[in-house]
Structure 1
Amino acid sequence: MPEAKWYVVHTYSGYENKVASTLETTVENRGLQDMIHDVKVPTETVVEEVNGKQKETEHKLYPGYVFIKMIYTDETWYVVRNIRGCTGFVGPSSKPIPLSDEEVYRMGVEKKTVEVSYSVGDEVRITYGPLEDFVGTVEEMDVDKDYVRVIVSMFGKETPVELDLGQVEPVTED
């Protein structure tokens, strides 16, 4: 069975939630839960000042777009394409292109859970990327944003490097 991937569909402005809820209902009614796994309209909470009062509001991160985790087949394409308010899949000539795992995490569609076994001040080794095997000290980190800043010594100079939490591991004494 092929793996479900995240696809993006374009909607009429303001129809994102309507398209998402209609699609969820259609999936339920047609028993397509094993083909269409998830439907999301990514949002963020923003604090605005209205008439001198602080007010929290939800803002769509990508207005006009809905994210769908599904197994791509002619049937799922047809079901999604025919939802009222949906104008088509994102991709060349309407051929859907799935998002890469990196795009999914970077765009906030899914959260990556990383087991962090180090903290600020700890010595860590970079496990992949251009600075693989460099050792440095954790200066700052934000688990919610999947971010860590490590100070590494390069060319005799202390240099801050910003990385994903999963790119470093604690240095253990053997």
Structure 2
Amino acid sequence: MKNFTNGWYVIYTQSRYEKKVCDSLESLNIQFFLPVTKKLKIWSDRKKYVDTPLFPSYVFIYLNDKMDLFRAQNITGVLSYVRMGKEPVKVCENVIMDLKLVLKNETDIEVSDMYFKPGQKINIQQGPLKGLSCEIIQIMGRKKMLVRGGVIERNIIIPYIQDHYIYSN
């Protein structure tokens, strides 16, 4: 990597290794963000809500220097960095902040890898999602709010509730 800049990046992990990778990152004092949501799992004898990664096999990490880049890459379960060409792709700080805000305040979250035409861009000024930048889109005749996931090409879709928020374009 020629021109390293510190910031958020995305690593791609082996299937179901996200939490193990996060434990290893924590032991190396590398900041990470693993977006999770609660899902109802049903077995033959019980039901239980479990934390499930919102984006399976992806973990966001904050790299301070090239040394962090190499240390994280050598963790068991890490397959690669998400790259554009040969360079790891840096994730905009706003994407991380928007994801954290949505996960903190919403329970009815959908993740989609479908392409959505650009919608009306809004910034929420008041309410529980204050500070969120998103788009208003139509899905099956209903308005929804869309948060684009950036380099991982996944989108978060949440219900649109006009009365709870004050918007600005």
TM-score (norm 2): 0.54
Find out whether 1:100 has 2:92 as its counterpart.
yes
Q: Which has more radius of gyration?
A: 1
Give the equivalent residue in structure 2 for 1:111. Answer: 101
Give the equivalent residue in structure 2 for 1:143. Answer: 128
Find out whether 1:18 has 2:8 as its counterpart.
no
Superposed CA deviations along residues 97-156 of structure 1, whole A, max 9, x for unmatched, are 1111342244x2x338xxxxxxxxxxxxxxxxx799xxxxxxxx86248489xxxxxxxx
Q: CA deviation at 1:167?
A: 4.8
Q: CA deviation at 1:41?
A: 1.8
CA distance in 2, matches of 1:161, 1:80: 36
**SS of match in other structure, 2:16:** coil
**Structure 1 residues 82 and 94, CA gap change in structure 2 (3 angstroms):** farther
Q: Where do 1:28-107 residues align within 5 Å? A: 36=30, 38-48=31-41, 50-51=43-44, 55-71=48-64, 73-106=65-98
Q: Which runs of 4+ in 1 moved over 3 A?
A: 47-54, 144-148, 160-163, 165-168
**Structure 1 residues 14 and 49, CA gap change in structure 2 (3 angstroms):** closer
**Structure 1 residues 87 and 49, CA gap change in structure 2 (3 angstroms):** closer
Matching residue's letter, 1:19: V
Q: CA deviation at 1:161?
A: 10
**Structure 1 residues 143 and 3, CA gap change in structure 2 (3 angstroms):** farther
**SS of match in other structure, 1:84:** coil
CA distance in 2, matches of 1:131, 1:11: 32
CA distance in 2, matches of 1:131, 1:45: 28
% identical equivalent positions: 22
Please report the RMSD computed on the Cα atoms of aligned residues, expressed in angstroms. Answer: 4.1
TM-score (norm 1): 0.52
**SS of match in other structure, 1:111:** helix
* Matched-pair contact (CA < 8 Å) for 1:88–1:94: no
Give the gaps of 5 or more residues in structure 1.
28-35, 113-129, 133-140, 149-159, 169-174
**Structure 1 residues 131 and 69, CA gap change in structure 2 (3 angstroms):** closer
* Matched-pair contact (CA < 8 Å) for 1:7–1:97: yes
